[in-house]
């Protein structure tokens, strides 16, 4: 992948957890001028983003609004592009990270970065692909070139909400699939669970205004497959641990980093109750996590629903 020296940009990455660190290593590969900011940094966020061409937020969902509100008060370069790499839904508002960024900082182009990107594999230099989505094509192309390298193939897309929701909603499904594997229910069950879950992800996506076809791509089906097939996924690990008899609290305490699917399940079910969107798998995950039902009851409940056409 050619990366002309005149294209070198000043990039700031906010967040130095698992994903922020992996994104940092990708930006370093291309030798851009890089600044990383986390709450432990000895300098302010304002200093970290001064003169930045691209500001990439890789904080967990609970940090998104506070970071966006801080950046709202900071002077950014007029052309600075904001990139959201978070996969979650806000508890109170039900908003996606990009909706929060857009509402608080509307004057800057916004790009969503999402795809099948398990951070440990990226840190190990293994090949991967991702999607950068924006309503602003130039902004998406800028971010594409900042990240693209021999081991990281980056596609542009014009459906940011669809790309973002693929990454967000699959976290809930990964908990279900982790539990399915933890119970050793077999490949038929797992395939049915993943496939039917994609249909429910699309139903939610359409409500948010996403294009259904986006969910067949890397950020939808791609990320669903990656997360549901890897014990590197923290969400999968939570489901697997519950199937092994651990409490949710113990499962969360034992994983490294954030399993966004736990909170996403609760926010999602709230939205789907209000909007009457049928999401049986996510709903059973939510009830399981709340302790309302056992895993065995969740399996039975999913299998014993009324018979219906596939589509
Ligand atoms: N780890 C992975 O493989 C991937 C993770 N993601 C997404 O990226 C996001 C972050 O995930 P990880 O880095 O894995 O989690 P993590 O738990 O390792 O790191 C979270 C980061 O967010 C920061 N943070 C949280 N609240 C904050 C606040 N109020 N102010 C400032 N910083 C705050 C933490 O300090 C930490 O740096 C999640 O939404 C996750 O779904 C997306 C793709 C891959
Ligand atoms: O989003 C991810 C891979 O694309 C990471 O998944 P987990 O958050 O479940 O580890």
CA of 236 to the centre of ligand 2 (A): 9
CB of 60 shorter than 6 A to ligand 1: yes
Known active-site residue 190? no
Distance CA 88, CA 97 (A): 7
Name beta bridge partners: 131. Answer: 114, 155
CB of 63 shorter than 6 A to ligand 1: yes
* Helices 97-104/61-72 angle, 10° precision: 10
pLDDT for 5: 53
Low-confidence ranges of the chain (pLDDT < 70): 1-6
Q: Which two tokens stand for residue 11?
A: 């990039």
* Helices 234-243/261-275 angle, 10° precision: 90
Q: How far is CA 54 from CA 5, 38, 154, 208, 243, in A?
A: 17, 16, 16, 26, 42
Q: Does residue 259 contact residue 171 with C-beta atoms inside 8 Å?
A: yes
Q: Does residue 281 contact residue 224 with C-beta atoms inside 8 Å?
A: no
pLDDT for 311: 85
**What interface predicted TM-score (ipTM) does this complex get?**
0.98
pLDDT tens-place string over residues 98-137: 999 999 999 999 999 999 999 999 999 999 999 999 999 9
Distance CA 86, CA 17 (A): 12
Ligand 2, residues at Cβ distance < 6 Å: 87, 116-118, 167, 171, 174, 223, 226-227, 233-235
Surface-to-core class of residue 276, CB atoms within 10 Å of its CB (0-12 exposed, 13-18 middle, 19+ buried): exposed
pLDDT for 6: 60
CA of 97 to the centre of ligand 1 (A): 12
Output the pTM of the full model.
0.97
**Contacts (Cβ under 8 Å, ≥6 apart) of 129:** 115, 116, 152, 153, 154, 155, 218, 222
């Amino acid at each position: 992948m050619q990366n002309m020296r005149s294209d070198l940009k000043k990039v700031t990455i906010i967040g130095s957890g698992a994903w922020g660190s992996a994104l940092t290593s990708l930006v370093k590969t291309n030798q851009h001028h890089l600044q990383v900011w986390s709450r432990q940094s000895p300098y302010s966020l304002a200093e970290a983003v001064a003169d930045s061409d691209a500001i990439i937020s890789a904080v967990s969902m609970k940090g998104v609004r506070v970071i966006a509100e801080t950046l709202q008060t900071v002077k950014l370069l007029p052309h600075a592009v904001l990139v959201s790499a978070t996969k979650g839904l806000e508890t109170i508002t039900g908003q996606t990270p990009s909706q929060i960024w857009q509402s608080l900082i509307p004057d800057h182009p916004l790009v969503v970065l999402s795809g099948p990107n398990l951070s440990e594999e990226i840190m190990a230099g293994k090949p991967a692909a991702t999607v950068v989505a924006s309503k602003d094509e130039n902004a998406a192309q800028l971010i594409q070139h900042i990240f693209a390298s021999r081991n990281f193939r980056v596609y542009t897309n014009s459906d940011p909400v669809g790309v973002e929701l693929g990454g967000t909603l699959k976290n809930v499904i990964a908990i279900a699939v982790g539990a399915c594997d933890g119970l050793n229910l077999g490949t038929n069950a797992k395939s049915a669970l993943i496939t039917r879950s994609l249909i429910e992800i699309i139903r939610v996506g359409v409500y948010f205004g996403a294009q259904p076809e986006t969910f067949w791509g890397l950020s939808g089906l791609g990320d669903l497959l990656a997360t549901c097939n890897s014990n590197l996924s923290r969400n999968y690990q939570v489901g697997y641990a519950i199937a092994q008899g651990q409490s949710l609290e113990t499962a969360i305490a034992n994983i490294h980093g954030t399993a966004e699917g736990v909170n996403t399940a609760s926010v999602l079910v709230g939205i789907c109750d209000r909007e009457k969107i049928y999401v049986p798998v996510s709903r059973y995950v939510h009830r399981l996590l709340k302790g309302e039902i056992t895993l065995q009851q969740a399996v039975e409940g999913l299998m014993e629903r009324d018979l219906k056409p596939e589509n």
